[in-house]
Structure 1
Amino acid sequence: MLADTGWVYLRYFTAGEKGRGLGARLWTHLRDEMTAAGHTRIIYDVEDPAQPGIGPAEELVRHRCIAFYQRLGAVVPPVHGHLPPQGSAGHPMLLMAADYVANTPPAAEDAERIVLAVCEHRYGMAATDPVVAETLRLSGPSYSRADPTFQ
């Protein structure tokens, strides 16, 4: 739970068999349980397919992961430079968010709230932390519904 936001941070989700629908069924069950418990949004990190130094095979896996979540209603908010602390990922990640109660994607202006909630309540980083401040600075121009990268 991310404090009093009503949101949940999902640390890790995977299904062993790809392409057989198991992941979608598990996700649907998870979503139903979270919404039944009163949680309105699920937020999680995903690895960035544009990360320098990864090979084509890994890039494809990451694109497929994002596409999977998008098929299930999630979006990639316009957050740039999200850097979980060392020991977590150690490299920039993308954030994804899914709103299942309202059944609408998070608004672009929610991006700052998402960053602050994850950094503070998942990673224990204050808004004044230089890493958090840099993420907000890098993401600032994107807080607009007109941003074509916001899906």
Structure 2
Amino acid sequence: MSPAPTIRVQREDFDLQTEVDRLAKAAPGVGAIVTFSGLCRDEGGTLAALELEHYPGMAEAEMTRVATLAIERFGLLGLTAIHRFGKISAKENIVLVIACAPHRQAAFDGANFVMDFLKTSAPFWKKEHCTDGSAGDWVSAKDADEKARDKWK
């Protein structure tokens, strides 16, 4: 039986090492742990923050669906995905994906798979807040994100 992923959508920040330790303890047979931590870019000093909104319930459901697919497809021993919402300042954490497996390639592939699908299918929206005090635009999906997702099909 495959392990259930740990999925959280939260306003508060997360601690990378705490999350890695938690997952490693819960997954016997781990030989590799891959982490991806996505930060709010400052866009060359022009972006002060991103305001992230999500569709409660649906965001968690889609994250769980994608994480479960990754566990099954790559034989992962555990997977954690955390996505923040609210106003997140430049250089702060937005998303964390941790994949553990017996061997490195499965862990790398699992983490990449989850991020490629989260960027395109999870119901999250980002609005820019600029350093000059103006409200920026809602961030649109990028073609490159969809191409990255499509390579897994």
TM normalised by structure 1 equals 0.34
Q: Which has the larger radius of gyration?
A: 2
Higher strand share: 2
Identify the structure with bigger relative contact order (alpha carbons < 8 Å, sequence gap 6+): 2
